[in-house]
Amino acid sequence: MSTSSSPAMSATLAADALLDSKRAAGQHVISMASGEIGVPVHPSLAERLAQAAHRNSYGPVAGSAELRTAVAGYWQRRDLEIDPDLVMCGPGSKSLLFAVLLALGGSVVIPRPSWVSYAAQAALAGQRTISCPVLPGQGGVPDPDRLHEEVTAARADGHEVRAVVVTLPDNPTGTFASSGTVRRLCAVAQRLDLVIISDEIYCDLVFDSAAPPISPAAFAPERTIVTTGLTKNLALGGWRLGVARLPDGPLGHTLRDRLLGIASQIWSSPAAPVQRAAAYAFQEPPEISRHVAALRGLHQKVARAVAERFTAVGTRLEPVRATCYLYPDFEPLRSRLAARHDVHTGAELTSLLLERYGIGVLPGSEFGEPASGLRLRAATSRLYGESDEQRAEAVRSPDPLSLPWIRSNLDRIGEVLTDLIGSSNRDSCSRTAPSTPPHPEGPVS
Amino acid sequence: MSTSSSPAMSATLAADALLDSKRAAGQHVISMASGEIGVPVHPSLAERLAQAAHRNSYGPVAGSAELRTAVAGYWQRRDLEIDPDLVMCGPGSKSLLFAVLLALGGSVVIPRPSWVSYAAQAALAGQRTISCPVLPGQGGVPDPDRLHEEVTAARADGHEVRAVVVTLPDNPTGTFASSGTVRRLCAVAQRLDLVIISDEIYCDLVFDSAAPPISPAAFAPERTIVTTGLTKNLALGGWRLGVARLPDGPLGHTLRDRLLGIASQIWSSPAAPVQRAAAYAFQEPPEISRHVAALRGLHQKVARAVAERFTAVGTRLEPVRATCYLYPDFEPLRSRLAARHDVHTGAELTSLLLERYGIGVLPGSEFGEPASGLRLRAATSRLYGESDEQRAEAVRSPDPLSLPWIRSNLDRIGEVLTDLIGSSNRDSCSRTAPSTPPHPEGPVS
């Protein structure tokens, strides 16, 4: 069997499995490894799925006309008008991203850090990735100047570079690029004739609705593919439904034909009953919009409360502005971690947190960063409760931080971090306050 | 964009789309291009899916323990015992077959003729296919002697050949290989160290339950991967649920790890509500077994009735013993088709049937046969009715051929074929009677 075609199991899913086995063995664990949202299905969506249980035909490969029309409406409300014929649906935006990489071919630039699966998918597709750093506090979008340098150098070395991936807002950092940076990224992509693959799965989870990120599709509509889905805004990961918006123009029509070919050979179509419920969700009726808003508020409160625990012990952390992710950097605490725990890498720090404290996070190396770094990604959505009842109450509560199970998780995180670092951390903390400008709503800590 | 990564849209789905547009334009059409079954969801499965609508977590990449245990039981009842840990579930057996090809790498042998997607999937995975003919009347399994020759020659040319695909029972021919042929195939695979990928999606649709095909997993358990799903036996194509049984042994465990890696990067897991209903289906409760038996009987009656129309005009046709597919060969009518219609290839014959008569079939070239051949694949499951009510009645009826809509479809097929060939076809017919021994239940016509 070939090794290049066989990636390790997705790191988030593997960490989840390990935590589950610890929990089953009776250990108290706090899972912040996977970004699975976990809150219950909104009743009006469960009802639509149940009503569609009799649907058993494949339907169109791109998804039903009803669903594609609803998705086009969703994007139109975000100033990204699109012909429903240029909407592609699949069993998760993950599947669509893989198909897009296969369809484009050539090498692809990905941000550093970035989601675990971009590089793994490119490897599966037999493609080379070029990792390009982001600007401080603007995760998910490669620094445009560096992008220009890297692509020019790779092409001079004979590599055919065809695309750049951006994540807007970003996983793992919980931040997003300014519109100025996105505009400059688009200008570089135009100059170098790069396709932009914009993963916007977190676009409805921006805390300050007055200052949302601007999609590259606004600046470079002829070359930008946008993907999103129901996994993050509505916690429907297990339903497997993602959508892609292809560029309006020759590239989009060529891509559409190729994606239909690929999709028809790998997955045929998304599950038909799910398509029906998804069409309702993408119409954004009032109760669904309210539900997304409630979830967004919950993410904001809990993510920022967890961020406070990390900054309190002296980690460096950009203000979290979207998603339910934090990306604290323990670099300011390097000598302390080495002296107290013989910990020198993010992987060692992750293992220590998991094995000694039962806290699951992922090291930055899973996101394409050097193994020597001490960044960790913490996903806070699993703190909302252990049962559907607790999680539903967390979504409904005006003050989720006061719910005993959430408070106990926050307290436990604080205790673990204090125990990890030792008591006298104030020195290092004051030396490592974030250097980025404060968020409009105030800095995290 | 690279061309090797961009197959044409699946031929069956493309033909379906064209027929749909003709139907929408008011033409009377008979769709025998796609093998989509089309009968309604069994109520007990729709009910389970509806009850599982609240399920929104990804769950294990391989599928839930409940589902994998049910699938292991399904195989145990077919004398193919397996550890549930060696069962992999995916969004269709199509997805699993693609993942298996990616995991194995190297070149793969496929039968000629065979299902449209094997070669397309291998091309997507960047792999070479070696097409190997089947024995007469034993579709789906490469002639073992020819397999040995082809693999030996390819290896002498420097190609790394790792696997052979078999389809048991077979699409497109509606036949299956004898146990002797399967045993010889396994012996060759053992001698040449080939993995056997056995697509058994039609295994519950064998007409004579006293003489089922024997899976290569019975003869070569250490190297055989078996796939199946709910698409064909229960008409649940649109639910997207397939399963794979990995070999019990070192190969199976290595494959499992690689498939989990690939699945976690392409599709994560099958839709969670569907998994729940599928677990119930794979337990085969009495009402589900009865439903499968009723469907099998319907396929048998209609497929054989359509086969009679084809043999009546003088095509060559192996007795149909499973599935809902026929694979008539118009070769005995070649000079007549050339003289009457200027038709010289299967594609030309297909176009004539579609455009002049509104009958959709696929040419043998879609199944890997030479373009010059005059074989066509006809899938008969779309003849059961235009509405869910008609199709449900077809499943229930003890005499479906007497239902007016099925009778009218059969009459129309007979008229079209007679008009196509002209009236005096008896000469060629008598010259071209099938040379294979009659089926135990009697010959087709």
DSSP labels for A218-279? HH-TTTEEEEEESTTTS--GGG--EEEE--SSHHHHHHHHHHHHHHHHHTSSS-HHHHHHHH
Assigned domain for A133 exists: yes
Share of chain A above pLDDT 90, in %: 84
Cα(B192)–Cα(B198) distance, integer angstroms: 17
Are residues A151 and A217 both part of a single domain? yes
Mean pLDDT of A173-184: 98
For testing contact with chain A, the best of B45, B104, B266, B269 (most A CBs within 10 A)? B266
**Percentage of chain B lying above the pLDDT 70 cut:** 91
> Who contacts A7 (Cβ-Cβ below 8 Å, separation ≥6)?
A120, A123, A124, B261, B262, B265
B66-91 pLDDT per residue, tens: 999 999 999 999 999 999 999 999 99
Which has the closest alpha carbon to B161: B173, B172, B148?
Answer: B148
pLDDT at residue B437, as a whole number = 38
* Rounded mean pLDDT, A253-282: 97
A202-213 burial: b if 16+ Cβ within 10 Å, else e? bbbbbbeeeebb
Say yes or no: A17 and A106 in one domain: no
- Per residue in A43-75, pLDDT tens? 999 999 999 999 999 999 999 999 999 999 999
Domain assignment present for residue B210? The answer is: yes
Q: Are residues B257 and B148 in the same domain?
A: yes
- State how far residue B418 is from chain A, nearest Cα, in angstroms: 32
**Residue A50 to residue B55, Cβ atoms within 8 A:** no
CATH of the domain at A22: 3.90.1150.10
For residues B174 and B198, what is the distance between their CA atoms, to the nearest angstrom? Answer: 16
A402-435 residue pLDDT tens: 999 999 999 999 999 999 999 654 444 444 444 3
Percentage above 70 pLDDT, chain A: 91
**Mean pLDDT along residues A139-150:** 98
| φ and ψ at residue A238, rounded to 5 degrees | -70, -10
Q: Where are the beta strands (DSSP E) in A333-390?
A: 359-360, 362-363, 376-379
Q: Can you give the pLDDT at residue A250?
A: 97
Looking up residue B88, the CATH number of its domain turns out to be 3.40.640.10
Residue A125 with chain B: CB contacts under 8 Å: 5
What's the average model confidence in pLDDT over A268-288? 97
| Cβ–Cβ contact A258 with B under 8 A | yes
The confidence score (pLDDT) of residue B442 equals 34
| Average confidence (pLDDT) over A160-171 | 98
Q: Does the beta-carbon distance from B9 to A255 stay under 8 Å? A: no
B139 and B17 housed in the same domain:
no
pLDDT class for B426, splitting at 50, 70, 90?
very low
Task: Report d(CA B93, CA B88) in Å as an integer.
Answer: 10
In the predicted model, what is the mean pLDDT of residues A312-326?
96
Q: B5 pLDDT exceeds 60?
A: no
Q: Are residues A63 and A212 in the same domain?
A: yes
Average pLDDT over residues B188-196: 98
Q: Is residue A1 part of a domain?
A: no
State pLDDT tens for residues B273-300. 999 999 999 999 999 999 999 999 999 9
**Would the pLDDT of B215 be above 80?**
yes
Are A68 and A214 contained in the same domain? yes
pLDDT at B26: 83
Measured between CA atoms, how close is B307 to chain A, in angstroms? 26
Instruction: Give pLDDT, residue B423.
Output: 64
* Total tally of structural domains belonging to chain A: 2
Please tell me if residue B2 touches chain A, with a CB cutoff of 8 Å.
yes
For chain B, positions 168-207, list CB contacts with chain A under 8 A.
none
d(C-alpha B164, C-alpha B188), whole Å: 10
The string of pLDDT tens digits covering residues A230-253 is 998 999 999 999 999 999 999 999
Residue pair A184/A148 in contact by the 8 Å Cβ criterion: no
- Note the pLDDT tens digit of each residue in A11-32: 666 677 777 888 888 877 899 9
- Of A419 and B12, the one with more pLDDT: A419
pLDDT at A38: 86
Residue in chain A closest to B95 (alpha carbons) equals A266
CA separation (Å) from A62 to A17, A95, B254, B350, B435?
32, 12, 34, 26, 44
Same domain, B194 and B82: yes
| pLDDT range class, residue A9, cuts 50, 70, 90 | low
Task: Examine the pLDDT at B361 and tell me if it is beyond 90.
Answer: yes
DSSP string, A44-61: HHHHHHHHTTT------T
| Residue that terminates a domain, selected from A267, A284, A301 | A284
Q: Say how many Å lie between the first and final Cα of chain B, rounded.
A: 50
pLDDT at residue B28, rounded to an integer: 77
Domain edge (last residue) among A284, A310, A341: A284
Using alpha carbons, select from A224, A227, A172 the residue that is nearest to residue A362. Answer: A172
Considering the domain boundaries, does residue A47 fall inside one?
no
State residue B12's pLDDT score.
67
Best of B4, B16, B39, B58 to mutate (most A CBs within 10 Å, chain A): B58
Report the phi/psi class of residue A405: left, alpha or beta, with left for phi > 0 and alpha for psi in -120 to 50: alpha
- pLDDT at position B163 is 98
Q: Strand (E) positions, B213-256?
A: 224-229, 242-245
pLDDT at residue A436 above 70?
Answer: no
Do A267 and A334 share a structural domain?
A: no
Do B79 and B212 fall within a single domain? yes
Residues of B in contact with A260 (CB under 8 A): 9
Give the pLDDT confidence score for residue B10 in this predicted structure: 59
pLDDT tens readout for residues B99-138: 999 999 999 999 999 998 999 999 999 999 999 999 999 9
What count of other Cβ atoms lies within 10 Å of the Cβ of residue B342?
A: 9
The dihedral of CA B235, A87, A196, A74: what is its sign?
negative
User: Largest Cα–Cα distance in chain B?
Assistant: 64
| Residues facing residue A195 across a β-bridge | A163
Q: Is B3 among the domain residues?
A: no
Confidence tier at B195 by pLDDT (50, 70, 90): very high
- Pair A154, A203 in one domain: yes
Chosen for mutation from B4, B6, B382 (greatest number of chain A CBs closer than 10 Å) is B6
* Structural domain that includes position B394: 11-39+288-431
| A445 part of a folded domain | no
- A439 within a domain of the structure (yes/no): no
| Closest Cβ opposite residue B266 in set A95, A104, A265 | A95
Decide which of A260, A284, A308 is a domain's last residue. A284
Task: Find the DSSP H helices in B157-249.
Answer: 179-192, 216-219
Give the residue among A272, A280, A225 at the shortest CA–CA distance from A63. Answer: A272
A92 and A169 together in one domain: yes
Q: What is the pLDDT of residue B9?
A: 56
A102 touches chain B (CB under 8 A): yes
Q: Do B162 and A10 touch (CB under 8 A)?
A: no
What's the whole-number average pLDDT of chain A? Answer: 91
* Interface A:B, Cβ pairs < 8 A: 231
CB contact under 8 A, B262 and A5: yes
Any chain B CB within 8 A of the CB of A348? no
CA-CA distance, A184 to A196, in Å (whole number)? 13
**pLDDT for residue A78 is more than 60:** yes
B158 and B97 fall within a common domain: yes
Nearest-CA distance A120 → chain B (Å): 7
Nearest Cβ partner for A240 among B5, B47, B91: B91
Tell me the C-alpha distance between B228 and A56, whole Å.
17
**Cα B364 from Cα B9, distance rounded (Å):** 17
Count H helices and E strands in chain A, helices first. 16, 13
User: Does residue A269 belong to the interface with chain B, where contact is any CB pair within 8 Å?
Assistant: yes
pLDDT at position A8 is 54
Task: Give me A357's structure tokens.
Answer: 């404290």
Q: Is residue B181 part of a domain?
A: yes
Q: What is the pLDDT of residue B22?
A: 82
Backbone angles phi, psi at B380, to 5 degrees: -95, 0
Residue reference for tokens 């093998």: B35
